[in-house]
Amino acid sequence: MKLNHRLASVAIAALSFSLPVAAQSDWAAYGHDAGQTKYSPLEQINTANVDKLTQAWVYHMRPTYQTPPPASAGSKPVKRLSQATPIVVNDMMYLATPYGTVIALKPETGELIWTYKVELGRPQVRSLSYWPGDKITPSSIFFGTSDGRMISLNARTGQPSVAFGENGAINLKKGMNENLTPTGQQSEEGRYNMTSAASIYKNLIITGCDVQESPAKGPSGDVRAWDVHTGKLVWRFHSIPRSGELGHNTWPANDNWKGRSGTNVWGFSSVDTERGLIFLPFGSPTFDYWGGDREGDNLFGNTLVVLHADTGKLAWHFQAIHHDIYDYDLESAPVMITVKRDGKDIPAVALTSKAGLMFILDRRNGKPIFGVEERPVPQSTVAGEHSSPTQPFPLKPVQLGRGSFTPADLSTVTPEHHAFCANMLATEGGMQSGPMFTPYGSKLTVVFPSTIGIVNWHGMSYNPKLGYLFVNTNEIGSVGKVVPAEPGAEPPYEKTSPWGMYAEFWDGKKYWPCQQPPWGQLWAINVNTGDVAWKVPFGTIPELDAQGIHNTGSVNYGGSISTGGGLIFIAASNDQHFRAYAAATGKILWDIKMDTGAYVTPSTYLGKDGKQYVVIVSTGGSFFDRTSGDSILAYTLPSK
Contact present, 438 and 431 (Cβ < 8 Å): no
pLDDT in tens, 240-256: 999 999 999 999 888 88
Task: Tell me the mean pLDDT in the region 470-486.
Answer: 96
Q: What gap in Å lies between CA 510 and CA 513, rounded to an integer? A: 9
Sign of CA dihedral 543, 545, 551, 557: positive
Q: What is the DSSP string of 383-450?
A: TT----SEEEEESSS--SS-----GGGB--SSHHHHHHHHHHHTGGG--B--STTPPP-SS-EEESS-
Q: What pLDDT shows up at residue 369? A: 98
Q: Does residue 455 register a pLDDT over 90?
A: yes
Q: Does residue 448 register a pLDDT over 80?
A: yes
pTM of the model: 0.93
Task: Tell me the mean pLDDT in the region 529-552.
Answer: 97
Q: What pLDDT shows up at residue 2? A: 36
Contact present, 302 and 354 (Cβ < 8 Å): no
> How would residue 63 be classed by pLDDT, with cut points 50, 70 and 90?
confident
* Spatial CA neighbour of 201 closest among 34, 85, 43: 34
DSSP SS3 for 542: helix
> How would residue 188 be classed by pLDDT, with cut points 50, 70 and 90?
low
Q: What pLDDT shows up at residue 8? A: 36
> How would residue 185 be classed by pLDDT, with cut points 50, 70 and 90?
very low
621 CB neighbour count, 10 Å cutoff: 21
623 CB neighbour count, 10 Å cutoff: 16
490 CB neighbour count, 10 Å cutoff: 11
Q: What gap in Å lies between CA 153 and CA 157, rounded to an integer? A: 8
Task: Tell me the mean pLDDT in the region 14-19.
Answer: 30
Q: Does residue 155 register a pLDDT over 50?
A: yes
Task: Tell me the mean pLDDT in the region 457-474.
Answer: 97
pLDDT in tens, 577-616: 999 999 999 999 999 999 999 999 999 999 999 999 999 9
> How would residue 124 be classed by pLDDT, with cut points 50, 70 and 90?
confident
> How would residue 21 be classed by pLDDT, with cut points 50, 70 and 90?
very low
CA angle 579, 403, 379 (to 5 degrees): 155
Q: Does residue 4 register a pLDDT over 60?
A: no
The residue with greater pLDDT, 238 or 188, is 238
Q: What pLDDT shows up at residue 624? A: 84
Task: Tell me the mean pLDDT in the region 609-627.
Answer: 92
Q: What gap in Å lies between CA 177 and CA 184, rounded to an integer? A: 12
Task: Tell me the mean pLDDT in the region 274-291.
Answer: 96
Q: What pLDDT shows up at residue 3? A: 37
Q: Does residue 186 register a pLDDT over 80?
A: no
The residue with greater pLDDT, 431 or 184, is 431
The residue with greater pLDDT, 81 or 463, is 463
Q: What gap in Å lies between CA 80 and CA 76, rounded to an integer? A: 12
Contact present, 263 and 350 (Cβ < 8 Å): no
How far is residue 164 from each of residues 83, 168, 408, measured CA to CA in Å?
A: 27, 5, 59
* DSSP class of 584: T
Q: What gap in Å lies between CA 279 and CA 36, rounded to an integer? A: 11
Exposure string of 518-549, with b = 16+ CB inside 10 Å and e = fewer, is bbbbbbbbbbbebeebbbbbbbbbeebeeeee
Kind of pairing, strands 460-463 and 210-211? unpaired
- In degrees to the nearest 10, what's the CA dihedral of 217, 453, 448, 361? 90
Kind of pairing, strands 520-526 and 532-537? antiparallel
The CATH code belonging to domain 1-25+172-409 is 2.140.10.10
Task: Tell me the mean pLDDT in the region 316-340.
Answer: 97
**Residue 69: partners with Cβ closer than 8 Å, 6 or more residues away:** none
pLDDT in tens, 367-404: 999 999 999 999 999 999 999 999 999 999 999 999 99
Sign of CA dihedral 405, 410, 411, 412: negative
pLDDT in tens, 530-541: 999 999 999 999
> How would residue 189 be classed by pLDDT, with cut points 50, 70 and 90?
low
Strand ranges for 77-215 from DSSP E: 87-89, 92-96, 101-105, 112-117, 129-131, 140-144, 149-154, 169-171, 192-193, 199-201, 204-207, 210-211
Task: Tell me the mean pLDDT in the region 66-91.
Answer: 73
Q: Does residue 183 register a pLDDT over 70?
A: no
* Spatial CA neighbour of 318 closest among 354, 256, 364, 379: 364
Q: Does residue 73 register a pLDDT over 50?
A: no
Kind of pairing, strands 39-40 and 560-563? parallel
Sign of CA dihedral 373, 374, 375, 380: positive
Q: What pLDDT shows up at residue 6? A: 38
> How would residue 320 be classed by pLDDT, with cut points 50, 70 and 90?
very high
